[in-house]
Amino acid sequence: MNSQVTAEAISALYQQESRRVLATLIRLLGDFELAEEALQEAFACALQQWPSDGLPEQPRAWLVSTGRFKAIDKIRQQHTQRKYQQQWLFEQDEDIEAFQADEVNHQNWQDDELRLIFTCCHPALSTEAQIALTLREICGLTTEQIAKAFLTNPVTIAQRIVRAKNKIRDAAIPYEIPVPEQLPERLDVVLKVIYLLFNEGYSQSSGDQLLCAELSAQAIRLGYLLLELQPDTETMGLLALLLLQESRRTARINQQGDLIVLADQDRSLWDQALIQQGVQLVERSLTGRRIGPYGLQAAIAALHAESPTAASTDWPQIVALYDLLYRFEASPVVLLNRAVAISMAQGPAAALPLLLALEQSGELSQYHLLDAALADIHHKLGLTQQARFYYQQALSKTSQQAEQRFLQQRLESLS
């Protein structure tokens, strides 16, 4: 190609492909830090060469090849190398032809990402470290974004990531997909990582844009890959949940980028093809032997998706599903969602004491959605002063600008 390639186009490619390129570089180089440096060097070379030379026929393969050889050059230039590194360089040189053939093998691209997920989620690491490392390395989230997902601070997340990388290096944790016998025990953390990734794309924790389609699409793609590898009922449930949530994407914001809550969304904008796929997966997952939290959440999402209006939704059934979900996942967020469902099924007065009890517990003291729910309930009960207080509390606890605008509008509507 002779046409010039802009920096914006390369930046877009970075957003779309950098994590896949990184996964393959980690496989080829066997080192997180070296691969991350190689990734940055490859894109720096692209910024220098592509505007004049044009886009390569296979940009992703070009980036992997360039990054790999940059890393090899860096190792060669270092004067104090251990013997195994010299042997590694020799093996790399011998493997050039095999690598070039491998570059266009799309199955290997996919497998590299799965290998990296399972490496980051190795049982030798703590659960918190597994999730933080995978969100950072596979998904490219910043430490601030991950901290928001964990409801903790960025320093803690950064320390977890560093310790996890050191553990992988020092324990020589293999970069591979587990054998079938090991998959079930390794699956739950991987599912949680994909779930958190989708949530960050579905409702970003900070910034001006509420949605990030690339993150959500990546989570759904990984869900499909994982389902192909391990057709577990909970894997089906998770993928169903993601598809059903994704079906509402275009209805969740207006042209100005402002948030539209579920009850006010134009349901004709919901993607019926995604809903159909999601519902089919829900039905399959609920007939399996292992019904778990993702399948139950997907069942709740399916009830919303199949209801023509918010008022006609089967809220008592949703409350019952939340009761069952709480047995699997005794989380205050589940109790919050259950209380909101009860307010729809039985009225705001029935939900108020449940929400106040959650507030009193302090478990969600920094979670703005609890304050927003309390504000809505007080507003529906005609308690304007209390509603104003809780909207102000919610505003102070979110850095997401679309949510801030929405809460500010609700606050102003009380005047």
381-407: pLDDT as tens digits? 999 999 999 999 999 998 888 888 999
* Cα–Cα distance for residue pair 244/274, rounded to 1 Å: 6
CA nearest neighbour of 169 among 120, 135, 109, 131: 120
**What's the distance, CA 5 to chain centroid?**
30
How many residues are listed for the chain in this entry? 415
- What is the model's pLDDT at position 150? 67
Residue type, 32: F
* Cα–Cα distance for residue pair 223/397, rounded to 1 Å: 31
- pLDDT tier at 151, thresholds 50, 70, 90: low
Cβ proximity of 234 and 297 under 8 Å: no
- pLDDT tier at 78, thresholds 50, 70, 90: low
* Cα–Cα distance for residue pair 198/220, rounded to 1 Å: 7
Above 60 in pLDDT, residue 92?
Answer: no
- pLDDT tier at 213, thresholds 50, 70, 90: confident
CATH numbers and ranges of domains, the chain: 1-104 (1.10.1740), 105-202 (no CATH)
Lowest mean pLDDT among 76-80, 122-126, 315-319, 400-404: 76-80
Average pLDDT over residues 80-96: 48
Average pLDDT over residues 233-250: 94
Cβ atoms < 10 Å from Cβ of 218: 22
| Model pLDDT for residues 289-330, shown as the tens digit of each residue | 778 899 999 999 999 999 999 989 999 999 999 999 999 999
Above 50 in pLDDT, residue 58?
Answer: yes
CA dihedral 265, 267, 268, 273 (to 10 degrees): 130
Buried b or exposed e, range 351-370, using 16+ CB within 10 angstroms: bbebbeebbeeebbeebbbb
Above 90 in pLDDT, residue 190?
Answer: no
Above 70 in pLDDT, residue 207?
Answer: no
Above 80 in pLDDT, residue 134?
Answer: yes
- pLDDT tier at 123, thresholds 50, 70, 90: confident
- pLDDT tier at 101, thresholds 50, 70, 90: very low
- Determine if residue 234 is left, alpha or beta; phi over 0 gives left, psi from -120 to 50 gives alpha, anything else beta: alpha
- What is the model's pLDDT at position 135? 82
Cβ atoms < 10 Å from Cβ of 277: 17
Cα–Cα distance list, 130 to 16, 110, 123, 137 (Å): 23, 20, 8, 11
Q: Which two tokens stand for residue 375?
A: 């504000």
Residue type, 116: L
pTM assigned to the model: 0.75
CA nearest neighbour of 407 among 399, 415, 394: 394
Q: If DSSP codes are grouped into helix, strand and coil, which group holds residue 207?
A: strand
Average pLDDT over residues 22-28: 89
- What is the model's pLDDT at position 176? 82
- What is the model's pLDDT at position 114? 80
Alpha helical stretches, state H, 181-314: 183-202, 213-229, 233-246, 272-286, 293-305
More confident residue, 263 or 90: 263
Residue type, 27: R
CA angle 319, 322, 328 (to 5 degrees): 160
Above 90 in pLDDT, residue 201?
Answer: no
* Cα–Cα distance for residue pair 360/332, rounded to 1 Å: 12
Q: Which two tokens stand for residue 182?
A: 């090991």
- pLDDT tier at 139, thresholds 50, 70, 90: confident
Q: Which two tokens stand for residue 259?
A: 């948030």
- What is the model's pLDDT at position 72? 85
* Cα–Cα distance for residue pair 31/69, rounded to 1 Å: 14
CA nearest neighbour of 28 among 79, 67, 80: 67
Q: List, in sequence order, every residue forming a beta bridge with 399; answer none if it has no partner.
A: 206
The whole-chain average pLDDT of the chain stands at: 85
- What is the model's pLDDT at position 29? 86
Q: List, in sequence order, every residue forming a beta bridge with 253; answer none if it has no partner.
A: 259
- pLDDT tier at 197, thresholds 50, 70, 90: confident
Lowest mean pLDDT among 2-11, 37-46, 189-198: 2-11
* Cα–Cα distance for residue pair 199/216, rounded to 1 Å: 7
Above 50 in pLDDT, residue 376?
Answer: yes
CA nearest neighbour of 140 among 33, 29, 36: 36
